[in-house]
Amino acid sequence: AYSLSAGGPVIDPRTDCICVTPVCPHSLTAKPMVFAGDAKLGIKNIHVRDKKLLLTVDGKMTYDLYRGDVVQIEKSVTETKLIRFCSQGFYNTLRQKMNAD
């Protein structure tokens, strides 16, 4: 839901994937991307104007990312179980929310 509100895609909850959604990007070309669940992503600071960028994780923790540093991203082995109060299904709920006035 958070990714969707930030402009990300609708993803079936049964899909094993990693979704990367830029939040407040400074570029109109920054688009959400969906990767296979077993993908291992590497993001490297190649910025030439500034030697340090700031990486913010979940809006809470900030890290210095120096030129040449690489951040590795992969899916956690820990799964979260969510409580479901109704059984009308993902697509029925989505259809109701998309048609809401």
For residues 35 and 41, is the Cβ–Cβ distance under 8 A? yes
CA separation for the pair 76, 17 (Å, rounded): 11
pLDDT for 19: 93
Give the global pTM.
0.75
For residues 59 and 67, is the Cβ–Cβ distance under 8 A? no
Phi, psi of 73 (to 5 degrees): -125, 130
pLDDT for 100: 65
Per-residue confidence in pLDDT tens, the chain, 101 aa: 788 888 899 999 889 999 999 888 888 898 999 999 999 999 999 988 888 999 888 778 899 999 999 999 999 999 888 777 777 888 888 888 888 65
CB atoms within 10 A of CB 66: 11
pLDDT for 92: 86
